[in-house]
Amino acid sequence: MLPVTFLLFIASLAIPAGLFGFMAWESREETVAAALRHVEQTTGILHENAEKVLEINAGALERAAQFMAAPDGRGALHGFLARVERSSPSIQSLWVFAPDGRALGTSMPSPPPQGLDVSDREYFLHHRAHPGTSFFVSAPLIGRADGRQQFALTRRLEDGSGRFAGVALSGIASVYFERQWQGLSPELQPTAALVRDDGVVLVRHPALPVTAPPLPPDSEYMQAVRREPQGVRQMGSTIDGRDRIVGFRRLSGYPVSIAYAVSLDAVLAGWHRLLVLYGFVCGSVALALLAMTALVHRRSRLREITARLRERQAVVEAHEEVQRVTQGFQRELIAAVEARQACIARDLHDCVGASLAGVSLLVGSARALAADARAAAALDKAQEQVAATAEAVRGISRGLMPAGTDSGGLLHALEQFAADLTDTSGVLCMLRARGTFATLGAEEATHVFRVVQEAVANALRHGHATELRIVLCEWRGRWRISVADNGRGCDFGRLPRTHPGLGLRSMQARARALGGELELGPDAWGGCRVRVTWTASPARRSGLVLHQDREAFAH
């Protein structure tokens, strides 16, 4: 199962990213949809205006044809054409051409130039080759009379027998449409155009030169116009190569379509600005969520750490409780042992000592009554053995319950112990003390004395020592007892730390009962040193430290 903080971290990144993607997609769709509506509406307006312009010009051509059909039409032709031109600003000029291409009349103020001939024009050739009075929309051209760019709407003229009688022409100025289209949403980089069905661009904004090639038949625009009369599509321009949203609509009755397009890049420019805003908002949301995730992670870590600390505290408390119970048991056991030893010591002193004293008196009395020298000598020997036995019993009694281990009597007990050891074993035992130790209680004094006893016994039994030094000192509330010998020493690397021997366990238990620490290590004499250090207000510790370095331990 994934951690909650990891899931929150993923959500902190995924939610803002998803929100950004959704907002970006939705706003793009709305932006494009708004552009589509704009293009569709504008195309409809431009379509209506273009149809009206062509209808006006077609009406002018019909009136010109009717005027030419009248018997006296040619006499007042100039004035008539001038009046019709002034009736609409979309008409640049009106012309009537004879069957040979010469100008019969014009709406222009000045007469047509001498030698003007349009028999080579596209529209003239078309009407001469195609009977009928249908209209023809010419390709863009430069007027030979005025030099202005235009395209022409033309009509065939016929005589009464239907023979070709010339051409009526209405010149539609390209600048007329360009002026109208200039104000079409410039921020969208619009283009507008009138396109003939064969792809010839009649007029365009921005303007194209007259010699501009027609749109290819396989272009997206031409294919769309052939498929349906109107529509809005996104397509690439064959003129400038830009992607555009293009609206188109065919003009009724004419082989022409109106096109209005806006640049897709310009449409999406506003959307790109919105993306920056969306990015800032979503980034802020992501930072806020990440901050919350970090806070949750921190709190989770704090809870974990707190739980671990509580577990460790519980373990420590349980360990301390075990130590308290163990130390209490050890103190009770030591107290019971001490009490039992005291009882045995009293029994030895009171019973065995008294009995031996009585035996000694009886042997002395018998010696006084003995007349035989050999019997007297035997009785003397028996009396000496009884005295030695009595002295041994007193030594055992003092070892079991040393005199002076009551409150304030530790120093006296150690002095007596050292003197007796020297006298009885011949081992030189020296005692040095700094302080009176008068405040040391009876229980603590007993523990210290027993540690000294065990350390001396180990030195004699295992180290074969011939000299011993006992040092007892007190300094700033800390007490220390050390026992050093000149024996063979001990390999402390082979002593087990967790399961020492009975003697070590006894000294360790008494050091723990004192609330101090038992230290074992080499001494400068070459033997072993046992040291216990404790305080007046002991903090209970585990109690056994083994030292390998003689110089470090000497300090």
Q: d(Cα 383, Cα 388) in Å, to the nearest integer?
A: 9
Helix 4-69 and helix 174-181: axis angle, to 10°?
Answer: 150
In the three-class reduction of DSSP (H, G, I as helix; E, B as strand; rest coil), residue 162 is classed as coil
Return d(Cα 42, Cα 96) in angstroms, integer: 35
550 CB burial (10 A radius; 0-12, 13-18, 19+): middle
DSSP string, 214-231: PPPTTSHHHHHHHH-SEE
d(CA 350, CA 180) in angstroms, rounded, equals: 142
- Residue 456 CA to residue 462 CA, distance in Å, equals 10
Which of 192, 194, 191, 200 lies closest to 219, judged by CA? 200
Q: Which residue has the tokens 């009755």?
A: 253
What span, in angstroms and rounded, lies between the C-alpha atoms of 293 and 6? 9
Rg (CA), the chain: 65
As given in the structure block, the two tokens for residue 464 are 């074969």
What does the alpha-carbon distance between residue 409 and residue 445 come to, in Å, rounded to a whole number?
Answer: 8
User: What is the spatial distance between Cα 488 and Cα 465, in angstroms, rounded to a whole number?
Assistant: 7
Alpha carbon distance 468, 461 (integer Å): 13
Nearest alpha carbon to residue 194 among 122, 249, 127:
249
Are 195 and 202 in contact, with CB atoms under 8 Å apart? yes
Distance of CA 454 to the CA centre of its chain: 64
pLDDT, the chain, mean: 82
Question: DSSP assignment, residue 108?
Answer: S
Question: What pLDDT was estimated at residue 495?
Answer: 59
User: Per residue in 421-454, pLDDT tens?
Assistant: 888 878 899 999 887 677 778 888 888 888 998 8
* pLDDT greater at residue 190 or residue 553: 190
What pLDDT shows up at residue 497? 55
> Does residue 480 register a pLDDT over 80?
yes
| The pLDDT of residue 242 | 85
Predicted pLDDT at 61? 92
Residue 144's closest CA among 178, 180, 108? 108
Q: Mean pLDDT lowest for which of 77-81, 108-112, 349-353, 371-375? A: 349-353
Both tokens of 472, joined, read 């007892």
Q: Which residues, 6+ apart, have CB-to-CB distance to 215 below 8 Å?
A: 195, 199, 200, 201, 221, 222, 238, 239
327 HSE (CA, 13 A, CB side): 20
Chain position carrying tokens 């009248």: 70
Tell me the whole-structure pTM to 2 decimals.
0.56
Q: Which of 15-24, 98-107, 501-510 ranks highest by mean pLDDT?
A: 98-107
Which residues have C-beta within 8 Å of that of residue 125, sequence separation ≥ 6? 119
Give kind and range of the element (H or E) at residue 297. Answer: helix 264-347
Most confident of 326-330, 362-366, 496-500, 518-522: 518-522
Query: Are the C-beta atoms of 188 and 263 separated by less than 8 Å?
Result: yes
pLDDT at residue 351 greater than cutoff 50: yes
Name, in order, each residue with C-beta under 8 angstroms of 112's C-beta and a sequence gap of 6 or more: 95, 103, 106, 145
* Lowest mean pLDDT across 366-375, 389-398, 431-440: 389-398
Instruction: Say if CB 541 and CB 516 are below 8 A apart.
Output: yes
∠ CA 353-356-361, nearest 5°, is: 125
- Neighbouring-strand partners of residue 481: 472, 532
Q: Please tell me the distance from the alpha carbon of residue 247 to that of residue 225, in angstroms, as a whole number.
A: 10
Decide: 232 and 246 in contact? Cβ < 8 Å: yes
Q: How many C-beta atoms lie closer than 10 Å to residue 310's C-beta?
A: 10
The number of CA neighbours under 13 Å toward the Cβ of 552 is 7
* pLDDT tens column, 203-242: 999 888 878 899 999 999 999 999 999 999 998 888 778 8
Length of the chain: 555
Biggest alpha carbon distance in the chain? 210
The predicted-structure confidence for 140-174, as pLDDT tens digits, reads as follows: 999 888 888 899 999 999 988 889 999 999 999 88
C-alpha 144/C-alpha 113 separation (Å) is 9
| Omega before residue 3 within 30° of 0, cis | no
Q: Half-sphere exposure (CA, 13 Å, Cβ side) for 403? A: 10
Confidence (pLDDT) at 552: 44
The amino acid at 71? P
Distance from the first to the final alpha carbon of the chain: 57
Transcribe 186-217 into DSSP letters. Answer: GGG--EEEEEETTS-EEEEES---TTPPPPPT
Helix, strand, coil percent values for the chain (each to nearest 5):
55, 20, 25
Does the pLDDT of residue 327 top 70, yes or no? no
Q: Are residues 268 and 31 in contact, defined by beta-carbon separation less than 8 angstroms? A: yes
357, 536 contact by CB (below 8 A): no
**In the structure encoding, which two tokens stand for residue 510, read together?**
């008494």
Cβ proximity of 36 and 305 under 8 Å? no
